[in-house]
Copies of this chain bind each other. A is one copy, B any other.
Amino acid sequence: MCIGLDVDLQKIPEFLLREEDPIFAFNKAIIDATHHLAVAYKPNLAFYEAHGLKGWKALEKTINYLNENFPEIFTIADAKRGDIGNTSGMYAKAFFEDLNFDSVTVAPYMGKDSIEPFLAYQNKHTILLALTSNAGAYDFQTQIVEREELYKKVIKTSRNWTNGQNLMYVVGATKAEYLREIRKIIPENFLLVPGVGAQGGSLKEVCEYGMSRNAGLLINASRAVIYASNAEDYAEAAAAEARKLQQEMAAYL
């Protein structure tokens, strides 16, 4: 289980807004209450950038807190970046060196030279969008290119890039029925699966169709866990929700 740290000041307990850094205070409490249940945390950059400098500072404090106190936990910068080669190199530096995340999500539209600068960090992980959890995924990702869907073309093509066999892929839980097809192409690669919970994806179907010999699934829950309560008990409520999900996952393993 991965927990998404998508902190929205409208949704966290109101009393936290009196803290000097409400976002970090919230993240720290959620991490302290759930770290024994999660193997990964995934802050989505948008929720931090929306607050400018303060948001970036909260992000830095969050990743530093994770790296210092829970070095065994896998960290994901959910950034969905991608640009021409020299620019993607700068993004890779930002997330892998400056912030020291273990992994970053990237978008495939700009192709090979937009992703290889991330793949060049061999002690880090690059997670490529394949089939996303939202409705807009049907606009282009499932369109047919050379007799197969674009997302399959993305997966197959990306495997040929330098270090491409090390890629992880994003596949939305709301598209669980596609996981069988995807596992035919990449039986062993790790998949990051968002969309369980608030977005309505089925954990059962994700496990049934997506599990590999070594599990191979990092299933993310964000809103369902972190906003389980917005009262004083928010951290305990998040832990209770996380335990419920973790036990469900354990049952499928």
CA distance in complex: A107, B83 (Å): 10
Contact status A50-B144, CB under 8 Å: no
Query: Which residues of chain A in 78-115 are interfacial with respect to chain B, using CB atoms and an 8 Å cutoff?
Result: 78, 80-85, 87-88, 90-91, 93-94, 98-99, 107-115
* Residues of A108-163 whose CB lies within 8 A of B: 108-115, 129, 132-141, 143-146, 150, 153-154, 157
Q: Copies per complex?
A: 2
CB of A34 within 8 Å of the partner chain: no
Q: Which one of B8, B55, B145 lies within 8 Å of A144 (CB-CB)?
A: B145
A35 to B136, CA, bound (A): 39
Report how far A144 CA is from B144 CA in the complex, Å: 8
Report the separation of the CA atoms of residues A113 and B113 in the bound assembly, to the nearest whole angstrom.
27
Which one of B57, B90, B144 lies within 8 Å of A53 (CB-CB)? Answer: B57
Q: Is A47 an interface residue (CB 8 A)?
A: yes
Query: In the assembled complex, how far is the CB of residue A105 from the closest CB belonging to chain B, in whole angstroms?
Result: 9
In the complex, whether A44 has a CB less than 8 A from a CB of chain B is yes
Query: Taking CB as reference atom, which chain B residue is nearest A45?
Result: B91
Closest 4 CB pairs of A and B: A111-B136, A111-B139, A46-B90, A49-B94
